[in-house]
A and B are shown apart, each in its own frame.
Chain A
Amino acid sequence: MPTVYVNDKPVEIGTGKLNCIQAAGLGGVLIPSYCWHEALTVVASCRMCLVEVGDRKPDGTVVMQPKVVPGCQTPVKDGTVIVTGEYDKRDPAAAALNYPADYTKGGKPGERAKKSQADTLEGLLINHPLDCPVCDKAGECKLQDFSYKYGRAETRMVDEKNTPPNKPALSSKITLFTDRCIMCTRCVRFTREISGTAELQVVGRAHHEEIDVFPGRPLENKLAGNVVDLCPVGALGSKDFLYKQRVWYLKTADGVCSRCSTGCSTYTDTNKDIVYRLRPRVNPEAQGHFMCDEGRYGYHFANSGERFVRPMVKTDGRFKPAPWTQVGAQLRQEVAAAVGQAAAGFAAVLSPFLTVEEAFLYASYFKRLAKEVPLVLGPVPVVGADDRYPKNVKGEPVEPTKFVIRAEKCPNRRGVEAVLMHFQGAVIPFADVVRDALPAMWFAGGYPVKEHVEEAFPADWKAPALLVAQDLFPTLLTASAKYILPATAAFEKEGTFVNHAGLAQSFPRAVRPPQEARTELQLAFDLLGRRGLAQPGAIRAELAAAVPFFAPLAGVVPQNGVKVG
C-alpha cells in the first residue's frame, strides 16, 4: 500500500492520484488553499498551500527539496514526505522521520512553509479592504479563517490600497466587490471548464488586475450561481442572498433539490423557519460539486405568502378554514363513502413531489380502503430537453458532460412509480384519468410551479363531486375542490427522493411547515388510524421491508444516498 508521511504520520493513500492537499487531508491535516478546487484545473497561483516535501527512501533516509512547493500541484507517491506549516502541532504518536541534517538550516521542520503562508496572506491582505463588518462572506470566509489561523496580527502596509470600482452589472444575479477579490480565478475557470460559457475573465495586470466580463456579455448562464460558492472570499455575492442574513445566524441542514430529477445534494441554510439560501453539497453519486440556478434560487416558493397554510372546506360555495381535528374526521368519512360507492371511480393521485415514505403511506391507505382504487401518478412536468454542460461557443454541449439540468422538473418520479408498481403492478399516468369524468379524486400535489398542475388539465375538465386537493398554491384545481389541504415543500419534511438514476437520498427536515400546515406523511399516518407522530425513519424501514425495490433503504441511508431498484 503506498504510504506518504504527513508531518511524520504515515498515511496510506490507496491507488488514487492525489496531490499533497488531498493526501494530507486523508491524514487529518488541513493544508489551506484558495485557488485549488477538486473539480477545476490546477493553477497553483494563490500560493497558500505551500509545503515542504521530500522523499523517504526504502532504507529510511529522507531527502527534502530545498524550496517550498505548492501542495496542489505536487502529486504524491509512495514515500512522499509532506511537512506542512503546522508541523509543530503534529500527532505526537508518530515517530519523527530521519530528516537530513542540512534540511532546516538551523530552523525547525515546517517553519519555511509556515512563513511562506503568512507571507502569502500578508500579500493577499495588502489590497483587501478588510471590510468584514459589512461583508456578506464574513463568518464563512476563507481569508478570515486562514488569516486568523496562519496570518500576521498586524499589517505592515501603510500606503493607500487599490480601490477598483465594484461591478454590480456583472450579472443579474451576481455582483462583484472587486476590491475584495484575491484573484484565485476559480470563477473564471468554472465558466471555462464547467459551464463552458466563458463569460468571466481576468483583465489588467499585476496588482491592478480584476475579474470582469466583456461589455454587453454579462455572466448569465444557468450554472452561474456556483461562482458565488466557489469564491473563497466575499468578492462575488449572490444578489439573492446579499444582506439578508449574517451567516452565523444560519442553521444548515442537508437537503435534496426538488426542482429537477437530477436530485442535487444541497445544504439548506435557514433561520427561524425561513429558508434563505441553498448551496450545493458535494456528492459524486448525484451531481458532483455544483447545482444549477433553477434549483439554487428555486426555494422562494416555500417562503411565498400565497401558499395554503391551513386546511379549508368549501361551504356554501366559499372556502372556510377548518381545524385539522374536524377536517380529518370528515375526510375519513367522505373518502370511505366515496370509495364504497365506486372504488374504481376514486382516483388517488400521488405527485412526483411526494417523498417515497409519503407515497407509501398514502398508497397503503387507499389500497386498504379498496383494492380497486386506482393509484395515479400525478402530472410529471417536463420542460424542454435535458440541458448538458459544458457548452461550446455555439451553445452546444461538449463531451465529457460535467453537469445536467434535467427536463423532468420533479424530484421523485421514480420513487413514486416504484411505490405504485408495488401496490398495483402498473403506473397509471395522470393523462389517462383526467379525460374521464370521475366521481371522486384525491390530488396529493405539492407542485412549486402552479402552471405545472394547470397545464395537465384539459380546458373542458369537469371537477369530480368530491375533490380533495392538496397543494402549495391556489390553482384551477383547488378552486373546484371541496377540501383544500396545505402541501409541504421538501424543506419542511423528512423523507427520501429517488433521482433519475435510481439514487435514493434521504434528507432531514430543515424548517417547520408554515402555520397549520402538516406534512403529507403525518396526514396519511393519521388517515391510516395510526397514533402519534409519524416517524419518517420508521416508515422508511417499513417501506424497505415491504417493497423489495426499496430494500437498500433499510438501516441508515448513507449521506451520499444509495442506489435502489
Chain B
Amino acid sequence: MPYEPILLARVAQPDSHRLEGYRADGGYATFERALKDLKPEQVVAQVKDSGLRGRGGAGFPTGLKWTFLPKDHPGPIYLCVNADESEPCTYNNRILMEKDPHQVLEGIMLACYAFKSQKAFFYVRYEYGDAFRTLQAAVDELYAAGLLGQNILGSGFTLDVVLHRGAGAYICGEETGLIESLEGKRAWPRIKPPFPAIEGAFRKPTIVNNVETLACVTQIMKRGIDWFKSLGVPPDPKNPRDAGSYGPKLYTIAGHVNDPKCVELPMGITIRELVEQHGGGVWKGRKAKAVNPGGLSMGYVNVETKLKDSDLTEYDIPLDFNGPGRVACLGLGTAAVTVIDDHTSMVDVLHNTCQFFSHESCGQCTPCREGTGWMLKITDRMRRGQGRKEDLDILVDVADRIGIMPGTTICGLADGAGWPVKTAIRKFRAEFEAAIKSGEKSKYAKTLSVVGAH
C-alpha cells in the first residue's frame, strides 16, 4: 500500500498557503487545544516521547534539546527557526514554506508554547524569496486572526514571529552562525559551550529548530505519539546510543534521475527504492555510479560496492539516521539524495564539491579555511590533467584532519567538507588513479563559475 503523505498532504491543494484553507483542514485546532487543555510541560513531554529527531541534519532529539533550557528562566527565551536551507540539492523545507507555511507556523506556536518563548525568529535564506513572501503573508494573516501577538485567544500566551532574511551564506545554517547572523554580525559560529539553549541569540536561552522538525511537531501534537512511532525504524537494540529514526521524512531526489522531486516517506527507505520507485530511475537509461545520500556533506556511496556478508550493495542502505553511517558516510543529513550516473567523472564531481566548500567555509578556523582551499587547488589541478599520485593521499589526510570530529574546528562545516572528499577517494580510488595516470583534462575545461553575488 503506498504511503499517504502527512507533511505534504496539503501541498497540491489550491491556495494551500492560506490560513482559510489550513483552518478548513483542521489547522490550528491542535494549537488551540494545547493552549486550552495542555500544560507546556505536557507538550514538551509529548514531543520528547515521540522520539522526534531534528530534521536539519544532525538528528539531535528535539524534545531533549528543549529540556536543556534553564529551568524557571525569567525569559526571554527565543526560538530560531532554521530555514537557511543551503545544503546542495536540498529543498524539502522550501516546499513546506512555500506550499504549507501554516503547518510550520503552527509547529512554531506549539514549540514556543512548550518552552515558554514569546518570540520566534524565522531565519530564511536570502535565495528563498517566494518562501519569504509567502511566510510574511501567512504571519500577517495570523496577526490579523489574533493567533499571533499579545494574549493569544485570551489564554495569556504571547508570541511574536519575526521573519529574518539571510544574506546568502551556507554557514548561516550552522545554529550559532545563524544566531550571529541574526544579531547582525558576521556568521562565524560560536565556540561551544555555552550551547544556545543556555546562551544563544542576544545572549538569551535559544532553541534552534529546523522547519521540517517544526512541521513534525505540529503533526505529533495532532496525531499523537503512536502514529509517529508507527512510522520509521525503531532503535537498534545492539546500539544503546541509537534513539531510533521514527516518523515521516521528506526526501529530495536530485541529480541524474528522470524525475527529481521531493517525496514524503517513512524513515528507512533504501536509496535504491527511492531512486528507482520515486525518482523515476537514472536518466538516459544509464546506471548510477555514486549517490550522495543526504546532502553534499554526507559523502558518497559507491553503488557497486557490496556490503559485508550480503548480496546487497551500498545502494541498498536504508536512509534513516544510522544507515549512511554504516557505509562510512557522515549521516543522514538533510536526506537530499543526489544521483551521479556512470558517465560522470568523479574527478569533476569532487572538484565541484571542493569548490562549494572552499567558497562557503566561513574562514574562522585555520584547518577548515586553509584545508578547503587547498583541496580545491589540488582537485582543480587534477581536473586539468596535472594530478600526482601523492595528491590522493594528501586529500584524504587533509579531509581526515579537519572538523569537529577530530576536534580541530569550531563547527561541523569542515567535517562536511572533508567527508565527500575522503569517501569519494576511498571508494573510487581506482578511477582517480586512472585519471591521474592518463593525464586527461576534464571535459569541462573551464572552471564552473560560482553563481551568486556573495
Contacts and interface: CB of A to CB of B under 8 A. Distances in A.
Nearest to A120: B366
Q: Which 3 A-B pairs have the closest CB atoms?
A: A207-B373, A67-B407, A123-B370
Contacts of A208: 363, 373
B24 interface: no
A328 to B, nearest CB: 63
Nearest to B407: A67
A498 interface: no
A48 B365 CA distance: 10
Contacts of B186: 201-202
A165 to B, nearest CB: 18
B408 interface: yes
Interface of A is mostly: loop
A73 B191 CA distance: 8
Interface stretch (A39-47, A86-94, A391-399, A526-534): A39-47
Interface string B174-205: 00000000000010100100000000000000
Contacts of A50: 407-408
Contacts of A126: 370, 373-374
A384 B377 CA distance: 55
Contacts of A123: 366-367, 369-371, 374
A206 interface: yes
B381 A47 contact: no
Given A124-B370, A206-B358, A68 B363 contact: no
A205 B366 contact: no
A119 B418 CA distance: 15
B234 to A, nearest CB: 28
B401 interface: yes
B261 interface: no
B194 to A, nearest CB: 11
A432 interface: no
Contacts of B360: 205-206
A206 B369 contact: yes
A201 B363 CA distance: 13
Given A46-B366, A123-B369, A207-B358, A116 B407 contact: yes
Contacts, number: 103
B381 A120 contact: no
Interface residues of A, number: 37
Interface stretch (A155-163, A254-262, A270-278, A288-296): A155-163
A515 B438 CA distance: 75
Given A126-B370, A159-B378, A183-B369, A44 B410 contact: yes
A116 B404 CA distance: 12
Contact of A127 (B362, B370, B388): B370
Interface residues of B, number: 36
A124 B408 contact: no
Nearest to A204: B363
Interface string A190-217: 0000000000011011111100000000
Given A42-B191, A73-B191, A206 B406 contact: no
A410 interface: no
B238 to A, nearest CB: 20
A206 B363 contact: yes
B409 interface: yes
B353 interface: no
A44 B372 contact: no
B405 interface: yes
B367 A205 contact: no
A73 B410 CA distance: 11
B169 interface: yes
B270 interface: no
B408 A120 contact: yes
A207 B362 CA distance: 9
A47 B191 contact: no
B372 to A, nearest CB: 6
A116 B358 contact: no
B373 A183 contact: no
A69 interface: yes
Contacts of B394: 156
A67 to B, nearest CB: 3
B361 interface: yes
B201 to A, nearest CB: 18
B359 interface: yes
A524 interface: no
Given A206-B363, A206-B369, A209-B363, 14 more contacts: A47-B408, A50-B408, A67-B406, A68-B408, A116-B408, A119-B401, A119-B408, A124-B366, A156-B394, A206-B360, A207-B358, A207-B372, A207-B373, A208-B373
Contacts of A511: none
B372 A206 contact: yes
B356 to A, nearest CB: 11
B92 to A, nearest CB: 26
Contacts of A157: 374, 377
Contacts of A553: none
Q: Which of B366, B371, B374 has the most CB of A within 10 A?
A: B366
B379 to A, nearest CB: 10
Contacts of B86: none
A503 interface: no
A206 B373 contact: yes
Nearest to B171: A205
B404 to A, nearest CB: 8
Contacts of B366: 45-48, 120, 123-124, 182-183
A206 B170 CA distance: 12
A160 B371 CA distance: 14
B141 to A, nearest CB: 37
Contacts of A156: 390, 394
Nearest to A51: B407
Contacts of B364: 43, 45, 183
